[in-house]
Structure 1
Amino acid sequence: MQFFSLYTILAFVSGASLAIQIGMNASLSKGLQNPMIAALSSFLIGTIALVLYILTSKQTIPSTHSLQQLPWWVWMGGLLGALYVTLTIVAAPKIGAAQLVAFVVTGQMLASLILDHYGLVGFEVNTLNAWRVLGAIFLIIGVILIRKF
Structure 2
Amino acid sequence: MNWIMTLLAVIAGISIGTQAGINGGFGKKIGVIEGAFVSFAIGTLILLVCTIFLGKGNLLNVFSVPKWQLTGGLLGAIYVLIMVLAVPKIGVATTIVSVILGQVLISGVIDHFGLFGGKQIPFDWQRGVAALLLGISLFLMYKK
Secondary structure at 2:75 match in 1: helix
Residues 52 and 139 (structure 1 numbering): CA distance in 2 closer, same or farther, change over 3 Å?
same
- Cα distance, 1:110 vs. partner? 0.5
- Which whole-Å CA distance do the structure 2 matches of 1:55 and 1:123 have between them? 29
Mean CA deviation greater in 116-125 or 103-112: 116-125
Pairwise CA RMSD of aligned residues? Answer: 1.5
- Cα distance, 1:56 vs. partner? 2.4
User: Which of 131, 134, 137 matches 1:136?
Assistant: 131
Q: Tell whether 2:9 aligns with 1:11.
A: yes
Amino acid at match of 2:43: G
- Which whole-Å CA distance do the structure 2 matches of 1:52 and 1:110 have between them? 34
- Cα distance, 1:125 vs. partner? 0.8
Matches within 5 A, 1:1-149: 1=1, 5-32=3-30, 34-57=31-54, 59-62=55-58, 64=60, 66-149=61-144
- Which whole-Å CA distance do the structure 2 matches of 1:115 and 1:107 have between them? 12
Aligned length: 144
1:49-105 Cα shifts (integer Å, max 9, x gaps):
111122223x235164x4343211111000000000001111111101111111111
**Aligned residues: percent identity?**
34
Residues 63 and 78 (structure 1 numbering): CA distance in 2 closer, same or farther, change over 3 Å?
closer
- Which whole-Å CA distance do the structure 2 matches of 1:139 and 1:130 have between them? 14
- Which whole-Å CA distance do the structure 1 matches of 2:29 and 2:90 have between them? 18
User: Gaps spanning 5+ residues in structure 1: where?
Assistant: none
TM-score (norm 2): 0.92
- Cα distance, 1:144 vs. partner? 1.5
